[in-house]
Structure formats: structure tokens, C-alpha cells
Amino acid sequence: MAMKIPPVSEIAKDTYVINEFGLTAMYLLVGSEKALLLDTGCGLTDLPALLEKLTDKPVMVALTHGHLDHVGGIGQFDEIYLHPADFEMASVCNTERMRGYVENLGKMGSYEAFGISPEMIIETGKLPEMKPLQDGDIIDLGGRTVQVIHVPGHTPGGLCFLDESVRILFSGDACNTNLLAQNSPVSETRRALQYLETFAGRYDRMWNGHVGYAGNFLTCCQPKTTLSDLLTICDKILDGTAVPKEFPFLGRTMCAYEYGVSRISYNPENL
């Protein structure tokens, strides 16, 4: 029987990954005073009801970036936090585009694994108040602090969240093995990743925004070489030694280069 409730796994003490049917991943970090929800998925999940089962603490909601598959559930909350550069992007909750995304990922395996459909998207008809997060901000959950790191590239306002209490970096889509950065100059993406590299000694594991992708039930952190491989890719693109390949993705043709465990999709005319 196909699952109709998103799988939840505890990946560290008081730290949960919510796999929204292979479409996207959310994370819940619980402190002694409040909890932090990272991203709101595609909107197929009654998040307040799910969160009540995981914690009795008040929940602050923060977004790694403004793409539809991470902001779909924002209407279920009164306020959210994200980088101001992605405010406008997050404000455009286009249900039809979201349904198209669900359909595409469904055909890639989610329909076989989960009992979902595009019609399950919860429409609230409202937007929450958007509050700013900036690079260097510290979120205090009570006995547990989380540092905000601005890593543009995937989007202008891409954020990572560093929790040294469990030595985990929550990288969203800003740093993952399949980095889509086709709207950003490669040189700018490289600078952002170099900045992220300065935090490398402060975490042991990196969890991104798409674990359990499509019909894959595995929920694993990223390979340890993900960031260094991405930087090598940027170097090879910029020095002209990369030979990119075209590939189809969600109805588009994209240009990408692979090295090690990672791949970057980019615009060869925007270096």
C-alpha cells in the first residue's frame, strides 16, 4: 500500500528530516525553548498537524530559498524567515506550476512509492509575513543555536543553516550533488561555495533539500567530497577545461558538467 504520510526520520538528537513524498525535504530542529522548521515543502502536507506530533515547542519557520518546492506550505503559517533577495520569489505561490512539479516527480518514481497526486496541494489563499534573515544571524532555540550562512548561486537568497550542537550543515539547494545554478554566473557561484568552505571544520555531515528523491526511500547525508567537487567543477568551467553535456530536466534542456560525486548545471554564456 502506498504511503500517504511523509516519512520522518530522526537523524540526530531532536533533529528530524521530513521526506515529502520524494518531492523535497524539510528539517525540524528542536531546542529547549522553541523549534526551527527549515522549508515548507510543496504544500502536500498538513505541517501544523505533523509538527504537533514531533514537538510541543513553538515553531519558527525559515526557508533555505524561495523556489516553489520549498515554499509550498508557507500559507499554513503566520510568519516565515528567509533572505530578502528571495522575498519576491517566495511570494509567487503558483499552484499550477507546483502541480506540474508534483506530476513530473511523480512520474520519476514518487507515484509508485507514495499515495500522492497534484490535487493534494493545500491552498490557504494567504501569504505569511516575511521576515529577513541575513548572513551571520544566530537563531537561538534554547540550549541550541543555529547560524545562518548566505550562499547565493542556486538562488540569490540561498541560505545554509549550521547547527554545531549536532555538527550538521543544512545546505538546502545551495550546495548539493546536483547543483542547479544556471541563472547565476559561475564565478559568483564559486565565490559563494568558497565562503561556505570556510565553515568546513565546524560540521561533520551535510543534509540537503532533496533526500529520498522521487521514489527513493533512502535518506542519507551528502558525500563528504560534495563541496570540494563542486569547487573543482567551477574551476574547470572557468579555466575552459570543462566539456559540458546537455541533459533533459523537468521539461527543459540543461547544460551540466560532472566531477567526482557532483554536477553543476550552468549557463556557458554566463561565467
Cβ atoms of residues 190 and 197 within 8 Å:
no
| 271 within some domain | no
Total domains present in the chain: 1
Quick check: is 161 in a domain? yes
Query: Please, what sign has the CA dihedral across residues 231, 232, 237, 242?
Result: negative
Q: Is residue 140 part of a domain?
A: yes
pLDDT at 2: 66
2 within domain boundaries: no
Mean pLDDT within 197-213? 95
Say how far apart CA 241 and CA 1 lie, in whole Å. Answer: 49
Show the domain range for 261.
8-265
Examine residue 259 and state whether it is found in any structural domain, yes or no: yes
* 94 located within any domain: yes
Rounded Cα–Cα distance for residues 99 and 104 (Å): 9
Task: Tell whether 240 is covered by a domain.
Answer: yes
Confidence tier at 92 by pLDDT (50, 70, 90): confident
Q: What is the pLDDT of residues 10-43, one digit of tens each?
A: 999 999 999 999 899 999 999 999 999 999 999 9
The reply to whether 3 falls in a domain is no
State pTM to two decimals: 0.95
- Residue 185 sits in a domain of what CATH number? 3.60.15.30
Tell me what pLDDT residue 213 has: 80
Contact 144, 180 (CB under 8 A): no
pLDDT at res. 219: 80
Contact of 159 with 61, CB cutoff 8 Å: no
